[in-house]
A and B are shown apart, each in its own frame.
Chain A
Amino acid sequence: MFDVLVIGGGMAGTLAALSARADGARVALAARSHGATALSTGALDIAYAPALSATVQMPRTIVEHVMDIAAHRQRHPYAVLGLEQTIVGLRRGFAMLAEHLAGTGLEPGDLDLEAENRYLPSSLGVAMPAAAALAPHRGLDLAHAAGQRWGVVQLLGDASFAAGRVMRGLAADAAALADRGPELIELGVRVTARGGPLATARAFDDVALIDEVTAELRGRVAGLDGIIFPPVLGLGHQREAHARLQAALGLPLVEALAHVPSVPGVRLQRALAAALSGAGVASVGEVVRCQTDGRRVVAAMTADRLELHAASFVLASGRFIAGGVLFEGGGREALFGLPLVSEDGLLEQDHPLPVVRETPMESHPLMTAGVQVNDRLQPMCEGRPPFDNLFAAGMVIGGFASRYALCADGVALCTGYLAGKAAASQRGGR
């Protein structure tokens, strides 16, 4: 018997488990496999709302972006929770993540909602706006790098990272952001990268390879303010790899934000798993079915036929990538069959393909499908929460998609933290 059972082991589920645990609850977490969190770019997207049109004034600070999102998208979790709860959730959720990532080499730094988004280099040569980022990706803000000189490392034969493209793209974006960007210099390194980013990252767990890179770069980095690397510097030992390389070269190192398959995502997922076990959250297998009793969820059945009882439950099962939301014929939430809502309104359950729009440039309601929640994060069905002790967090909540406003990590941190707290508060409530 647990106080709280969290279903889903990504960013939202982890935060829910940690926050419930912090309130003294006995917590178990059920995870099927890696979901979208393991595909993270390395940035933490809290709030970035692109200007809706040229005549609209662009929000400036992160909190202004949050307000802009809530104002224009009424079903977005930030709008549903309201500004006050959202800000509290973001601040405390982020602080909780930072606390649990301490010492991993992935520390996300501080979150200052009154600051502007920083602009981080992506591996595709785009300056990406982000409120925060994991430590390996944080050292260069392209909006404030005029007059600096940075090297861009090209590993020999690495088809997944092209220094030429990165330099060309970043130069264009930095010029648009701040008149003048940093000067970028290509640094070819004769270390062969074969077999994709994850294989390369594993190879960098070996200090011998780090030392080879050091030897290659020594003497060529004088006058530089830092070096941009492809996001492959170690998988299990990235902290040691970074420290060793940084000490040897005496320069800040920044890994570009990653595309899939993502090394930063796998690192983050591993760190979250370690945080859970460190905090004393029990790990149980995949939940395949839940048992309900009138207005309460009573138990969850795992794939190994374990029956788990808990006082309250957090649904953090993700959206399409993770399988928390299904669309086969009609659409439904996978575990409880909850109805779906998109940013445009309810999706009728047995009516296939409600709206499929023309181009990716346009809004696409289907991509925002998920469960509807109230301001306590309880999933809704026909205007009321069907279960008093069920809360939702992360991408399983509908009404938003990262493609219209970069906010997926913010939603996970905020809703995860708040859902965990709400679930923990139900202890002894039955």
Chain B
Amino acid sequence: MTSAFDTDVLVIGGGANGTGLARDLAKRGLRVLLCEKGDFARGATGASSGMIHGGPRYLLNDVETTRHSCADSGYIQRIVPHLLFRVPFLIPALPGGNFGGFAPLLFDVYFGVYDRFAVLKNGIPHARLTREELLAIEPGLRADVLGGVTSDEWGIDCGRLCLLNALDAAAHGAEIRTYTEVVGLMRDETGAVVGARLRAAGQVEVSEVRARAVVNCGGPWAERIAGLAEGGVRLRPGKGVHLIYDKRLTNFAVVANAVDGRQVFAMPYQNETWVGTTDDDYYGDLDDLWVTQDEVRYLQEALAHVLPGLAQQRLIGVRVGVRNTIFGWGKNEDDLSRRYEIIDHRAQRAAGFYSLVGGKLASFRQQSEDAADAVCAALGVHARCETHMHALPGGDALPDEAELARAYGVDRLAARRIVYRHGSLAPRVLDVGRETPTGFSVVCPCEPVLECEVRYCLRHERVVRLGDLMTRCRVAMGPCQGLRCGLRVAQLWAEERGADATDEREALMDLLTRRWRAARGVLHGQQLAQAELLMTQYTGLWRLPTLAPFA
């Protein structure tokens, strides 16, 4: 059958929802095109802590979200077991807090309820700890802590999760275009959406693609995208900030109450510690998020209240994003529901156009499934969802890191990181190291990242710009901020791409620019010295930022 359509479904957005939906539809046999205006996981998904929990917080006012999230978290863990990390939570009760001395007892009861959902996501039931027990496992806690409870959660590498969704979609025939923005929607005489106008980043010309259905998974940008068809999507965008400290300061996620009573936490993440998050209504530019000193201070003060030593530690960056929370009036940000919605824009005369909004990372797969069901019903496709049945690439088996380290002669920690990121594909990554004499050398000493992994990512993981590598294998994410790895990575880019000197400098500039965006909100103390060192080196030896050829 020759079709007037170039594709069945155009999915807009490369976050968890968009890539999850593309994968779901592709596995059902539909032709799918996914367009993302930047790289994967650059919006709400990328700024999230990666926690795939039910959110015990929602137990009070949104128990459905808790149940949903716990159930889907269980599925997600099954399809991508290598990308998970366990997050043991400590919820300390402090003097002067709510409920006084009864707090540990009340926490105990509360988490007893949560345990009923926790089994869905492979969580261990909570335990109640005395003051002495708490201080024994986390001596950094305030000495006058009363006691507390534990809770068991899981986290996931969001950037790689989206990438794997996209790669799996591509393996099932989907076309994935990053750095491609939807700038307009095509309508027929009835108003139905029949395609979209696309523009590649940095290009002027616009191309058209005709699709039987268009699904808007634009996250916080969903309002703007829906607006292209006068579609009615209303969000209550909430800006969230995570602070990133240069090392693991605790082995537990520690919950704290901020000055206004909100709950925040400090969480170990790979080699770092994350502290977050804020939740504030945001009306500014979604493409240029700023972190204010007040936000940094608010989180620092909150954590210092529980872990007094934290305030003196070095901040190396922030993650900032905007939640695509569904609109609600008259509630403060934390009380807004995290439920999700699939909007059929037929009501606004835009048949064939859908928006998937709201929701949580922990239930992205369920959200994608529901959206795919809606699209398939409209297109008369009867295939069932299979995204919970098959593993994502690399998720089918977990190789033994010690064995790999021996077989390839690499450090065991480096092998562990490769297994964490690539699962059963780890041997393929390590095989690349045998191609060059320096294939197993450490490119990024902060993490560590080996040369073979950088080359593998450049070849197989849709790295369009050099900065994309940061979310593939974490180069330039550590305390040195790209001082040591930047040059090596740019050189590998040039080798793999056959790039000339100008391309190589532009690639490095992209990496440093992205690094800078993450660091610019926390330029003080030692971090400022690091920034000066980094800038001086790259100005003094690369003539950056004056890339222009000599006049």
Contacts and interface: CB of A to CB of B under 8 A. Distances in A.
Given A122-B541, A165-B504, A319 B524 contact: no
A326 B532 CA distance: 12
A320 B501 contact: no
A120 B520 CA distance: 32
A176 B549 CA distance: 6
Contacts of B537: 39, 259-260
Interface of A (DSSP majority class):
loop
A51 B524 contact: no
Interface residues of B, number: 47
Interface residues of A, number: 55
A353 B315 CA distance: 14
Nearest to B533: A321
A173 interface: yes
Contacts of B529: 320-321, 323
Nearest to A359: B513
Contact of A356 (B523, B536, B538): B523
Contacts of A125: 501
Tell me what chain B mostly uses at the interface: helix, strand, loop, or mixed. Answer: helix
B413 interface: no
A375 to B, nearest CB: 26
Contact of B501 (A54, A168, A321, A328): A168
B540 A353 contact: no
Contact of A403 (B293, B513, B517, B536): B536
B288 A367 contact: no
A345 interface: no
Contacts of B488: 159
Nearest to A357: B520
B528 interface: yes
B223 to A, nearest CB: 24
Nearest to B441: A159
Contacts of A401: 532, 535
A386 interface: no
A157 B550 contact: no
A360 B532 CA distance: 11
Nearest to B520: A356
B542 A122 contact: yes
A124 B533 contact: no
B543 interface: yes
Interface string A162-182: 101100110111001100000
B542 A361 contact: no
A168 B513 contact: no
A129 B441 CA distance: 32
A360 B512 contact: yes
A359 B516 contact: yes
Nearest to B532: A320
Contacts of A169: 501, 504
Nearest to B442: A159
Between B528, B541, B549, the greatest number of chain A beta carbons within 10 A of the residue's beta carbon is seen for B541
A358 B514 CA distance: 10
B542 A126 contact: yes
B328 interface: no
B140 to A, nearest CB: 21
A360 B513 contact: yes
A352 interface: yes
A198 to B, nearest CB: 14
B539 A173 contact: no
Interface in B316-339: none
B89 to A, nearest CB: 31
A172 B501 contact: yes
Interface in A135-178: 157, 159, 162, 164-165, 168-169, 171-173, 176-177
Interface in A5-53: 36, 39, 41, 43, 45, 50-51
Interface string A397-411: 000011100101000
Contacts of B521: 353, 356
Interface in B466-525: 483, 487-488, 491, 494-495, 500-502, 504-505, 509, 512-513, 516-517, 520-521, 523-525
A327 interface: yes
Most buried by A among B533, B548, B550: B550
A168 B500 contact: yes
A257 interface: yes
Query: Which of the listed residues B288, B483, B509, B520 has the most CB atoms from chain A within 10 Å of its own CB?
Result: B520
B485 to A, nearest CB: 11
B551 interface: yes
A123 interface: yes
A50 B501 contact: no
Interface string A230-249: 00000000000000000000
Contacts of B483: 260
Contacts of A279: none
Given A172-B501, A173-B501, A126 B525 contact: no
B531 interface: yes
A305 B503 CA distance: 55
A311 interface: no
Contacts of B523: 327, 353, 356, 366
A361 B540 contact: no
Given A39-B533, A168-B501, A402-B540, A360 B545 contact: yes
B541 A128 contact: yes
A177 B533 CA distance: 28
Nearest to A56: B551
Contact of A124 (B500, B525, B536, B541): B541
B540 A406 contact: yes
Contacts of A129: 543
A195 B541 CA distance: 22
Interface string A402-424: 11001010000000000000000
A169 B541 CA distance: 12
Contacts of B348: none
A53 to B, nearest CB: 10
Contacts of A260: 483, 533, 537
B544 interface: yes
B512 A159 contact: no
Contacts of B437: 157
A58 B550 CA distance: 9
B550 A319 contact: no
Contacts of B533: 39, 260, 321
Interface string B269-283: 000000000000000
Nearest to B297: A352
A329 interface: yes
A214 to B, nearest CB: 24
B289 to A, nearest CB: 11
Nearest to A363: B545
B293 A352 contact: yes
Given A54-B551, A172-B501, A403-B535, A353 B524 contact: yes
B524 A327 contact: yes
Contact of A358 (B288, B495, B500): B288
Nearest to A395: B532
A361 B521 CA distance: 17
Interface string A50-81: 11001000100000000000000000000000
B61 interface: no
Closest 4 pairs between A and B when the two form their complex, measured CB to CB = A172-B501, A50-B546, A176-B549, A403-B539
Interface of B: 288, 293, 437-438, 441, 483, 487-488, 491, 494-495, 500-502, 504-505, 509, 512-513, 516-517, 520-521, 523-525, 528-529, 531-533, 535-546, 548-551
7 contacts: A45-B540, A165-B491, A176-B550, A358-B517, A360-B535, A367-B535, A403-B535
Interface of A: 36, 39, 41, 43, 45, 50-51, 54, 58, 122-129, 157, 159, 162, 164-165, 168-169, 171-173, 176-177, 257, 259-260, 319-321, 323, 326-329, 352-353, 356-361, 366-367, 401-403, 406, 408
Given A124-B542, A321-B536, 17 more contacts: A50-B543, A51-B551, A126-B541, A159-B438, A176-B550, A257-B540, A259-B487, A260-B483, A321-B533, A323-B529, A328-B524, A353-B293, A353-B523, A358-B517, A358-B520, A361-B509, A401-B532
